[in-house]
Chains A and B, each alone.
Chain A
Amino acid sequence: KAGVTQTPRYLIKTRGQQVTLSCSPISGHRSVSWYQQTPGQGLQFLFEYFSETQRNKGNFPGRFSGRQFSNSRSEMNVSTLELGDSALYLCASSLVGPFGEQYFGPGTRLTVT
């Protein structure tokens, strides 16, 4: 069974731009969660989607948004990028969630200059 995939793996953007990251969960998994990892703040939960609905949300500003499609693939969008948004963005999938036994993708490394 294929694992969780994330694209792109690396991204460089300029402050003020927006970015969209993609996550394809393990086949059959309906819950997708997103996390931000930075050296200063560590791993932080962004939001969780299940059956195309945002079910749970962490404490991030509205510039961070996401969506989930009918095939459970998920996208995360960050608008008006700030330098502090530079991070490793991880997604994880689980069978039902909200968290359950999670399987993580390799991450997208975003650098904002």
Chain B
Amino acid sequence: GIQVEQSPPDLILQEGANSTLRCNFSDSVNNLQWFHQNPWGQLINLFYIPSGTKQNGRLSATTVATERYSLLYISSSQTTDSGVYFCAVERGGGSNYKLTFGKGTLLTVNP
């Protein structure tokens, strides 16, 4: 099956710093999503981004499907940004769609 690799696995920042998280995938995909899981386990959809660039406040994401990677940018980080960031790729067709998650990047933002 498709491989989804995220880097770095862990990241520690001071409040106010910027960061870039990367997601590489091994095959063509229908779509790609970024999620944030807060320390209480709640998963929040950040971006639904098969290609191109999207921005939402301090967060933005870019997917280059032809080169099989996506980047998540976090600017002016805040302590509430702490948690695990997952990318997930969607593949398939008909009745054989699958969503495969990477192992995540654990982000800690210190005050």
> Do B97 and A99 touch across chains, with their CB atoms under 8 A apart?
yes
What are 30 contact pairs spanning A and B, CB under 8 A? A42-B102, A42-B103, A42-B104, A43-B101, A44-B101, A45-B98, A45-B99, A45-B101, A55-B95, A55-B97, A56-B92, A56-B96, A56-B97, A88-B41, A98-B92, A99-B31, A99-B33, A99-B97, A99-B99, A101-B33, A101-B45, A101-B48, A102-B33, A103-B45, A104-B42, A104-B44, A106-B40, A106-B41, A106-B42, A107-B41
Rounded to whole Å, the gap between the CB of A51 and the closest CB of chain B is: 13
Number of B positions contacting A (CB below 8 A) = 24
Instruction: Answer whether residue B13 sits at the interface, using C-beta atoms and an 8 A cutoff.
Output: no
Number of A positions contacting B (CB below 8 A) = 22
Instruction: Answer whether residue A81 sits at the interface, using C-beta atoms and an 8 A cutoff.
Output: no
Q: Using CB atoms, name the residue of chain A closest to B96.
A: A56
Rounded to whole Å, the gap between the CB of A7 and the closest CB of chain B is: 15
- Kindly list chain A residues whose C-beta atoms are within 8 Å of the C-beta of B97: 48, 55-56, 98-99
Given contacts A45-B101, A56-B97, A107-B42, 19 further A-B contacts (CB under 8 A): A33-B99, A42-B101, A42-B102, A43-B86, A45-B100, A48-B97, A55-B97, A56-B95, A90-B43, A98-B92, A99-B31, A99-B33, A99-B90, A102-B33, A103-B45, A104-B45, A106-B40, A106-B42, A107-B41
